[in-house]
Every structure is written in structure tokens, then in C-alpha cells.
Structure 1
Amino acid sequence: MRVEDLLRESAAERPEKVALVDGPARMSYGDLDADSDRLAAGLVALGVERGDRVVILMDNIAEAALSIFAVLKAGAVFCPVNPSLKGNGLGQLLADCRPRAALTQAKYASGCAAAAEGLAEPPRIVVARAQGPLVAGLLPFETLVGSAAPRPTHIGAEADLAMIIYTSGSTGQAKGVMMQHSAMLAVSASIASYLGNSADDVVLGALPLSFTYGLYQLIVSVRTGATLLLAKGFAFPHAVMEEARKEGVTGLPLVPTMAAMLLSMNDLSATSLPALRYITNAAAPLPAAHIAGLRRLFPGAHLHSMYGLSECARATSLPPEEIDRKPESVGKAIPGTEVTIVDGEGLPVARGDTGELVVRGPHLMLGYWENEAATREALRPDPATGETQLHTGDLFRADTEGFLHFVGRKDDIIKIRGEKVAPCRVEAVLHGCSGVREAAVTGVPDALLGNVLHATVVASDPDLSARAVMRHCAQHLPDFMVPKAVAFRDALPKTASGKVVRRLVQATGTVE
């Protein structure tokens, strides 16, 4: 079985069921299956062969979902790219994965073509939603979907490469994460299992499909026959939530940024989403204050606090019945997988001690595209069993009951007065300060102490002062962990997936 077979099965079982809602447009499972067959045939006619890479550079629109399954049906490898990536960044990605074709939208077509200039073999660029004639060399998406070519009949296997998805680059150079069909099938089955997804669900798809967390909303929805409500982002939360109410959304995947926006909406209540069954968070740890706010706002919804990364999609999940008791935990390993906290030698640490989280299971990446050094660093054998395990680069500790607690990125740890400080611990306290919507903590060199902490805050209360923020921190943190300065900003720099880019906060922030 391969990923595209999930669509074929759902289309066979419920061809008339709505698969995608894109504004006023609706696409049934039968049409999604048939149109992706035709697009796949069109791609093959363009010269796309088994194993070729095909870039998908689109917003969250129906054509993006259709393209993902078409590329797989053509036997190729899809590379989802966020449209916010432009210029040199896009050019470097195209040069790295060397796609045979690129599927994009009219508003991104010229940028995509410019980024492909100079490549030894530029991709064929296919453009969706064009309003008029295209520039010479660009092909209309609708023409390929209207292809009368026969359905591709390639023979593929679960072990084939299905996707290359590039990391956000929040901690440095982006790398191409290679995922096989078998890994995507395994993790989507696990997610559907612990979330209890079914054909009755309507899931909000406001997270980019080019982002692992957003992509699996599509894959899991198709696996279970659910409906995915596509949204172009969360910049206008009132409009998105109104659409979610109209469509009867039952699943609300979010990131901390979205949670902060929801909690600042004074007119939002449980009646705003009467059908809501569950909420998930995975991109970055959800502050305990946000969890409490969401629980008050949607008391009838199950809240799943999860941890994942592109290299395995998901690793842990906290059962909703534990969220009030352990709001700062991200749970335990998801079904069918294993996690362990290890020391520098790769050996398990004692309960309560901090170490690096390693993950084992059928959902691990194959490696980083054409980057053997990075692959060897991330995928290493277990010293005891020799089994391949993923070193996440993230520090965790387990409590006495085995529930996992995120400590921070290894690269983020700041040493102050000889003590190791995880910025996220200070940020969690900052989020508990009345009037703070978002916060980021960075280390600033200090001649006496080595480093001191600076906090950058996005306030929901215009009267909030730096003195009040530092006083709050002093009440909840040891002295060496209290920020020495607080800067107020209208927004924090983030990746397209909503993660705060701490190094950019440090590079651009000034003390006030």
C-alpha cells in the first residue's frame, strides 16, 4: 500500500462525500481521486518519471491537495514548499532537490520561474488559477487536469520515497527530510488512532500544507474519509472561525501563536464552535496559561498536547484526560513507537534527569536529501540493540510517572552564572503574566555573568510595563533566571509554521 491508495480507498467507499472545502467550492472524494488521476497522467506526459521530484508551491487551496496525490500517482516525489519562500531561498531549494516540474499558482509563477533561472535543467512550471494568458513556457494547470491520457499504471512500493519536506530552518540551514510511503502510512495511522478520527470529522486546515503538522491534517483526513476545511492562514481569525462554525468543524489543530490569537478574541466562546470535538497542538510547546485559557473557552473539547518534528511527524501525545493534571507535559510515545531520554553516550538517563529525546519506530525519516553527514548525526544506532533511532536535538526529562516534559533545544541552552537555563522555562512563566500574549527569551553576552537574559514581549495590555513583567518573573523564578531587560514588540519573528525564530529576536531586538 502507498499513500495515494488512501485516497483511492476513501473515494471507493464514499465518492460523494466532501473531501475538501475551499471557500465556496467543494470537492468530493470521487472528484479528488479522478482529477488527481488526470493530473498524474498529465505530469507523466510532461516527462515526470518514477522518483522524480515535483515541487508544490501553493497556498492552502484545493489544487495543492490535488497535486500531492497526483504526484504520488505518477510515481514521483512531492516537495511541498511554503509560498513565503522567495528569491535566493527558493532558488537554493530548487537547486537542491532538482525538480522535474513545479506546480504553483499564478501569483507565485513569476517568482518561481525567476528562482529556476540558471538551473542546468529548469523544471516545467505548471500554473493554477491563471486569470489570463501565461508567459511563454508556463503551462496551465487546468490543461493537465483535463488530460485525456490514461491513468498511470506504474508499479510502486511502500519503501519508495514519497516526500521531501524541508525543515523550517528556524535553527539554521534548512534540510530536505526524506519520508517513505511506509513511514507516512505508519504515522498517519497512529495519529488517526489516538485522535479517534472518522468520516464524521470536519478538520480545520489553517496550517500550511507545506508544513508537516499541516500536511498530516490532509493525509489523516483522507485516510479516515473526513472533510478538510482549507484556510489560507490565520491572519484574520474572526473570518476563519466564522467559516469553521458554518462548516461544523470538529477538529482544531493549532500552534501557540494561534492559541494566543484565539484567547484575545473577546467575542469567542464554546458556542462559536458547537461541534468542536478536539484541539491539537504540536509545533512548539503550548504554555500552561494557554492550555488553561483554551480549557475555559472550549470546556467540551479534548485538548491533545503533542510533540513532533519533521523527521518523524509525531513522537508524543498527552491523553486529554491528563491535561488538567499535567499541563506542562507532552505525554508519552504515540501508538506503535518508542521514545527514550539519553545522555551524551546514547544511554538512558534516570527519571527526572535531563537528556536528549530519541525516537524509534516505523515513522522515522529515511534521512536528509543528499546530506550524509547530517543524516549520520540524526539517525544513529542504539548502543544496546543497534536499532536505528532518531536523535531529535531536543532536551527532555521524564517525571516519576514517565510523562515527558520538554526542556528546550540543545542549541538554545544559555549558561548563566554556571547554570544552564532553558529559555522555554522562562517563557512559560512570562506567558503566565497578565497582559502578555507572546514572549521570547534570549541570552545577551555580559562581561561579569557570561550571559544575561532579555525578554521580548508582545502585549495584549497596552499598559503593561517592563517593571511589572520582571516583578512577575521574580515571584516565580530564581534570580539568575529573571530577565534583566524587557522589550515590547508588535510581533515576534516566526517561521511560516508559526515557530518563533529566537536567533532573529536576538539579532533585531533592542532593550527599552
Structure 2
Amino acid sequence: MSVERPWLDQYPAGVPEQIDVDEFPSVVAVLENAIQNYRDRPAFANFGKTLTYAEIDTLSARFAGYLLGELGLKKGDRVAIMMPNCLQYPIATFGVLRAGLTVVNTNPMYTPRELRHQLVDSGATVVLVLDNFAHTVEQVLADTQVKQVITTGLGDMLGLKGSLMNFVLKYIKKMVPDFDIRGAVRFRSALERGAAHPLPKIESQPDDIAFLQYTGGTTGLAKGAMLTHRNLVANMQQAAAWVGANVNPGHEVIITALPLYHIFALTANGLVFMKFGGLNHMITNPRDMPGFVKELKKVRFTAITGVNTLFNGLLNTPGFDEVDFSKLHLTLGGGMAVQRAVAERWKKTTGSTLIEAYGLTETSPAACINPMDLAEYSGAIGLPIPSTDACIKDEDGRTLPMGDIGELCIKGPQVMKGYWQRPQETTEAIDGDGWLHTGDMARMDEKGFFYIVDRKKDMILVSGFNVYPNEIEDVVAMLPGVLEVAAVGIPDEQSGEVVKLVVVKKDPSLTAEQIKAHTRENLTGYKQPKVIEFRKELPKTNVGKILRRELRDDART
């Protein structure tokens, strides 16, 4: 099927229609190219400590040496990394990839139930975890295939200052719960032992899985999107071609506040800016907005990525307007819809246009981006980026004409290989012609700009993170006092949407507080319900399916 591409006429000067997917055979080749070109330039900074590209080279090779030489891992084995943004993250991630292995990015805030599923499903045999979250790993270890746990303190790469930080976090702030994992190895010890094993030359193939990136499932269980080296290299090339004219190689400083375990930061900050020899200035806890602003005042940054809630939070934090924005020339928003009020205020405060982008875990993630020379917020998610096709289809898979609303479908080299060990769900997501069905309802205008109208799925989007109602409902239904439950998203000024529960009681004495206590034990913070309503019955179709849309509409009116 041929696709009309009106968006090509809107491409900014210098942006090619196609990218060279074969320039780099793997993510490792991108890293090695950056090391060669920018060896002595700063690569990653955190808590006042900076590592150069040369240091990332040495340390990641040592970690790879430990995984292969000491643990005897084989090509394709999975290694889970469970950490917020800190210097250990890039060292470990590049170490895993250089060893020919697959990274399983794991949210450190997971509850035992969520972590157990991801470790069991991925078959990870090694877990690297920050001390603060090791007690969660300890609780599920016996149910998994994990043979080796590697632990690390937040200050482990920071020298003497880091030792003091670890002491304060554990004994004064009480932020490190006790854990006892037999045979666990410290990260620094792993690096020391890995130094004895020179890294063999491992050729990762374009089709090898680089990351198993978990995303919510309609069944209530997260699925691992298989992102290959080719997928990630392609998306890096696409995004780099799009922003390239605005970048000064070797001199960019990007604020990385979104977690690198999230696909947006991983590709946009980690890979695109690595290609350009940039410095990733990592923020470990962006929720501490006063601390975040204090950090921004120390850095002459040139770029920042984030979600709407992050930008809104900064704008509403005292002192943000005193930050030096003189070097800032690139602000990229994604993960959730950017609100006009936030975009306009951002431009007024910083002088930088907040450029909206659109993507999914399944597209590594970028699919559409607005032109970088956009003067102001437009409400569009942008144009399909180079080597990407997009169209709008109806329920029967027919392509709809311009202006009609239907499901947004994407095709390009960044579209995932499929869902890990889920052929049926892969077939449902990617049709026979290679189109990924996004589940987002959209329209295209005459210039080729795409606009999201609504979501086909019942997915809830909280601060850029996908929340799937089935998972919330499954957890709440475990409570004996619950007869029926439905979860829907309702608008929220802070996070875009929050989870609302509508519950039919089996036990009349059941309270909202009991439900909240139960969800706190079983669900990550952003998935927990903020509003609970009790009803005598739930609206249903004639075949008994709960009408979530009706509940959503009720909540909005």
C-alpha cells in the first residue's frame, strides 16, 4: 500500500527524508564512535561527579568483563537493572550491551508483585539493584531464575563524598531498608574483578535484542517490547537528523531528569546526545523540585527533555525563573500531551519553545516530532520523522482520508521486533503489512501534521507513564470485600490524569482507606488510585462488559 506523505513538504531545511540505518550496526558501535571522537569530553554527571567518555569506556568494559568472565553469561542472556539516574546506570547498561547481552530496564519503585512478574517473564539471571530497593529483590528472589544479585549504594561512584552520602541515606534519613541477600556482590567489587577479564570482541547484530522494555498489557500484565540494536540505532539516527541543525557537537549539556529506564530518556538523552558527544547531567530525584531547581542553577545547560508534569512542576517552583537559560536552545516534551498553558508559560520564562513529540515504547520511542523552529505551541504531535510512515485506519484496517479520525498506525525501522514470548499479542499489534497499531485515535491535516484526539485503549496516562486499568482492577479484586471494580483515568492538573476507582462492595464495611492500603502494597505510586467512588452497580454492555468510557464521561461531567 502506498502512503501519501504530505509531511515531507513541511520538513525543516536540512532534514532528510530517509536516514542511514546501517551507519552503525549496533548501540555499542554508537558508543565506541563517541568514545573515539570525544574521548576526553564529559559524558555523564551526577551529584557533582563527572565521568568522561574514556572513563565510561574503561568502566563499562570492566562490567562486561565481570558478566562474561566471572559469571559466564552467554550472548542474549538478560540482565535486569533496577536503579534511578546515577553514574552506575550508564556504566552498567553499556557494559551489558558490550557483553552481547540484553538489558531489562526495571522501575526501582516496583512492588514485589510487579518485580516478580518482570523478572520471571524476562528470565533475567542477573539483577543490579540500588541498595534502597534491594529489600524488594530479596522478597521475590526465590521465585525467579536470578543467579546473581549485584548491589550498589547511591554514592558508590562519588569517592569520599559518596561514602558519607551512603551513611546519611542509611542511618540518618533511613532511606535504605535492611536486606540480606546471600551471595550478593557489590558493584565496585564487580568492576574490580571484571578488570582481570579483557573484553572479547563481540559483534552484536542489528537484529539482536538490546533492551527488553516493559510496557503495560491489556491483560493486566506488563509485556516486554523487544527493541533490537537496529530499532534503537534507527531511532537515534531519526531523532539526530531532526535536531541535528540545532546541535553543537561536543558542547551540548542536556538535563536528564526523566529516568533512563524510561524509553524516552534512554533514546533521546542517552543515545542521541551521546552521538553528538554531549554531557548528560543526570537528576536522581526530580520529584524534589526545590532540589532540582537548585541543581539547575549550577549548570549552563543547552537542552532538556521532560513530560508536561515535569515542566509544570518546575514552572511552579520558587526560584526557577532565576535559572540561567541563556544557553538553552532545545526543549523536548513527550510521554504525555503537552498542555498549551504550560508550553506558553515555558516559552515566556525560558525563551525556549517547548517542542512536542510523540512516540511509544514500541517505536523506540519517537514516531512524530514538531519542527524544531516552531515559534509556539501548535497542539499537534508533529510530523512523522525520517524513514517513518504514518496513516489513520478505521476498525476494518482501511486507510482513512485526510481529516478523518481513526487509529494512528506507524511503520518504520524503529518499530519493535515484537512482544517477548507473546506471538499472539505481537500479531494483534503489528499487522501483516508491518503497521504498528498504536491504540491512539488521531487525525492528519492537509500539511501532514498529526493530532491525537482520544485513546482507543482504556489506558490511563499518569505523568507520562502508562497505567493499564486491567492491572489495577486485578489487584483491587484480590480484596475479599470487593464485588466489582473498574479503573478509569480522570483529568488532573498536576499529572495529566490520575486513577479513579469505581467499586461495588461485597462487604458493606469495606472502606476507601482499606483499598488504598492494599494498592500501596501492590502497585507503584503512580498507579495507585487517587479517587475512590462506591456504587451499587457498574454500567455494562448487553454481554456484561464494563463500560469504562461511561464511567470516564461521568467523572468528567
Quote the offset at 1:248 in angstroms. Answer: 1.3
Q: Which has the higher contact order (CA 8 A, sep 6+)?
A: 2
- Kept in 1, the 8 Å contact 2:270–2:280? The answer is yes
The equivalent residue for 1:367 is 418
The equivalent residue for 1:2 is 26
Q: Given the alignment of the two structures, is residue 91 of structure 1 paired with residue 116 of structure 2, yes or no?
A: yes
Tell me the TM-score normalized by structure 2.
0.72
Structure 1 pair 259–459 and aligned structure 2 pair: CA distance change class (3 A): closer
Q: Given the alignment of the two structures, is residue 115 of structure 1 paired with residue 140 of structure 2, yes or no?
A: yes
* Separation of aligned partners in 1, 2:285 and 2:338: 19
Quote the offset at 1:139 in angstroms. Answer: 0.8
Structure 1 pair 158–83 and aligned structure 2 pair: CA distance change class (3 A): same
Match of 1:127 among 130, 151, 166: 151
- Kept in 2, the 8 Å contact 1:41–1:74? The answer is yes
Structure 1 pair 249–205 and aligned structure 2 pair: CA distance change class (3 A): same
The equivalent residue for 2:280 is 228
- Kept in 2, the 8 Å contact 1:229–1:244? The answer is no
- Kept in 1, the 8 Å contact 2:109–2:133? The answer is no
Query: Does the residue aligned with 2:301 lie in a helix, a strand or coil?
Result: coil
Structure 1 pair 52–455 and aligned structure 2 pair: CA distance change class (3 A): closer
Which amino acid is the alignment partner of residue 282 of structure 1?
Answer: G
Write the mapping of 1:395-474 to structure 2, written as runs, cut at 5 A: 395-412=441-458, 457-458=492-493
What count of residue pairs does the alignment treat as equivalent?
A: 435
* Separation of aligned partners in 2, 1:138 and 1:40: 17
* Separation of aligned partners in 2, 1:402 and 1:155: 39
Query: Does the residue aligned with 1:89 lie in a helix, a strand or coil?
Result: helix
Structure 1 pair 271–139 and aligned structure 2 pair: CA distance change class (3 A): closer
* Separation of aligned partners in 2, 1:374 and 1:157: 25
* Separation of aligned partners in 2, 1:454 and 1:245: 35
The equivalent residue for 1:390 is 436
Q: Given the alignment of the two structures, is residue 39 of structure 1 paired with residue 87 of structure 2, yes or no?
A: no
Tell me the TM-score normalized by structure 1.
0.78
The equivalent residue for 1:282 is 334
Which amino acid is the alignment partner of residue 250 of structure 1?
Answer: T
Q: Given the alignment of the two structures, is residue 355 of structure 1 paired with residue 406 of structure 2, yes or no?
A: yes
Quote the offset at 1:236 in angstroms. Answer: 1.9
Structure 1 pair 500–402 and aligned structure 2 pair: CA distance change class (3 A): farther
Query: Does the residue aligned with 1:316 lie in a helix, a strand or coil?
Result: strand
After superposition, what is the alpha-carbon deviation per residue over 1:266-296, rounded to whole angstroms, capped at 9, x for unaligned?
5333753221111111101101121111121
The equivalent residue for 2:257 is 206
* Separation of aligned partners in 1, 2:271 and 2:416: 16
Q: Given the alignment of the two structures, is residue 142 of structure 1 paired with residue 142 of structure 2, yes or no?
A: no
Which amino acid is the alignment partner of residue 397 of structure 2?
Answer: G
Match of 1:257 among 299, 309, 324: 309
Task: Give unmatched runs, 5+ long, in structure 1.
Answer: 383-387, 414-422, 428-439, 443-452, 461-492
Query: Does the residue aligned with 2:424 lie in a helix, a strand or coil?
Result: helix
* Separation of aligned partners in 2, 1:296 and 1:317: 21
After superposition, what is the alpha-carbon deviation per residue over 1:20-62, rounded to whole angstroms, capped at 9, x for unaligned?
0011211010010111011101001202110000000111011
- Kept in 2, the 8 Å contact 1:73–1:152? The answer is no
The equivalent residue for 2:484 is none
Match of 2:358 among 283, 304, 307: 307
* Separation of aligned partners in 2, 1:372 and 1:156: 24
Q: Given the alignment of the two structures, is residue 24 of structure 1 paired with residue 70 of structure 2, yes or no?
A: no
Quote the offset at 1:401 in angstroms. Answer: 2.2
After superposition, what is the alpha-carbon deviation per residue over 1:309-337, rounded to whole angstroms, capped at 9, x for unaligned?
1000111011143453x621111101221
Structure 1 pair 169–9 and aligned structure 2 pair: CA distance change class (3 A): same
- Kept in 1, the 8 Å contact 2:102–2:210? The answer is yes
Which amino acid is the alignment partner of residue 405 of structure 1?
Answer: Y
After superposition, what is the alpha-carbon deviation per residue over 1:228-260, rounded to whole angstroms, capped at 9, x for unaligned?
001113212232233233221111101011122
- Kept in 2, the 8 Å contact 1:352–1:398? The answer is yes
Structure 1 pair 305–238 and aligned structure 2 pair: CA distance change class (3 A): same
- Kept in 2, the 8 Å contact 1:16–1:29? The answer is yes
Match of 1:246 among 298, 323, 333: 298
State the identity as a percent.
Answer: 25
* Separation of aligned partners in 1, 2:57 and 2:88: 12
- Kept in 1, the 8 Å contact 2:309–2:494? The answer is no
* Separation of aligned partners in 2, 1:379 and 1:157: 23
Quote the offset at 1:509 in angstroms. Answer: 9.6
* Separation of aligned partners in 2, 1:270 and 1:296: 13
The equivalent residue for 2:513 is none
Worse-superposed segment, 127-136 or 2-11: 127-136
- Kept in 1, the 8 Å contact 2:312–2:494? The answer is no
Task: Give unmatched runs, 5+ long, in structure 2.
Answer: 1-24, 157-165, 168-178, 470-487, 496-518, 536-554
Quote the offset at 1:411 in angstroms. Answer: 2.3
